[in-house]
Amino acid sequence: MSDIHAAAVSVPTEDGTADAYLAHPADGLPRPAVLLYTDAFGLRPHTRSMADRLAAAGYTVLVPNVFYRQGRAPLAELPAVIDSAARADLWKRIRPAISALRPEPAMRDAGAYLGWLADCPQAAHGPAALTGYCLGARLALLTAGSYPTAVAAAAGFHGGRLATEDADSPHLVADRVTAELYFGHADEDPSLPPEQIERLEQALTAAGVRHRCEVYQRAHHGFTQADTSVYDKAADERHWDALLELLARTFQGPGGAEVCP
């Protein structure tokens, strides 16, 4: 896109350096910051294109390789379309990286990503927004609870294991969240059964969090990812509508003028 500028960047963390992708409007003016957490397949052409679309809408977007401890992205060679045949082999390769991304190191990294954006010349002053996909939805919720003053809004789409009975389940940070939240759940998603959807809703409501949780009917886990066989164009466009509406509410003042908090 000629109206945006994009580049590979490096983000120092307490545990090393994360390779990442930064996209922003080509004029270089400070714009509201968005931290985009990818799904389990990581930083790749499709997730870069998602960042480009957000940048074209007027945001400065950082997409980190959350698995940087295991190597630069991509961790495994990815086919043009990730279908069921390719998925099984890919899971064998990336599962160790997913298992290693426990909440404590992931939240150390989140602080580094948010701090890097705060110092980025192309990012406006003030709190950032988050959007996350699959495991990225978990990271978005955890980040909103871990850094409440640095996060103004957070969205998660087809997230899995958002409200388990584990001691470190993401929904347990609800009482620390000050951001507005939006979740778009996949109806056909075994990683987020109805009881977890209800548990998440109850936790957010009890904590007084501004939020909306919606179930996308007949959508599968991963419905926003156009380079996979579970992609659902209608559900994906619904996701974009919801995400951009959340960002507009968060960052735009009267008359649609962008404001820098």
pLDDT at 260: 40
3-state SS track over the chain: CCCEEEEEEEEEECCEEEEEEEEEECCCCCECEEEEECCCCCCCHHHHHHHHHHHHCCCEEEEECCCHHHCCCCCCCCCCCECHHHHHHHHHHHHHHHHHCCHHHHHHHHHHHHHHHHHCCCECCCCEEEEEECHHHHHHHHHHHHCHHHEEEEEEECCCCCCCCCCCCHHHHHHHCCCEEEEEEEEECCCCCHHHHHHHHHHHHHCCCCEEEEEEEEEECCCCCCCECCCCHHHHHHHHHHHHHHHHHHHECHHHCECCC
Confirm or reject CATH 3.40.50.1820 for domain 4-256, answering yes or no.
yes
pLDDT at 255: 31
pLDDT at 240: 98
Could you count the other beta carbons within 10 Å of the beta carbon of residue 89? 11
pLDDT at 209: 98
Q: Which residues contact 228 (CB under 8 A, 6 or more apart)?
A: 41, 81, 82, 83, 222
- pTM for the whole structure: 0.95
pLDDT at 1: 60
Residues 12, 242: Cα–Cα separation, whole Å: 32
pLDDT along the chain (261 residues), means of 10: 91 98 98 98 98 98 98 94 91 93 97 98 98 98 98 98 97 98 97 98 98 98 97 98 98 49 36
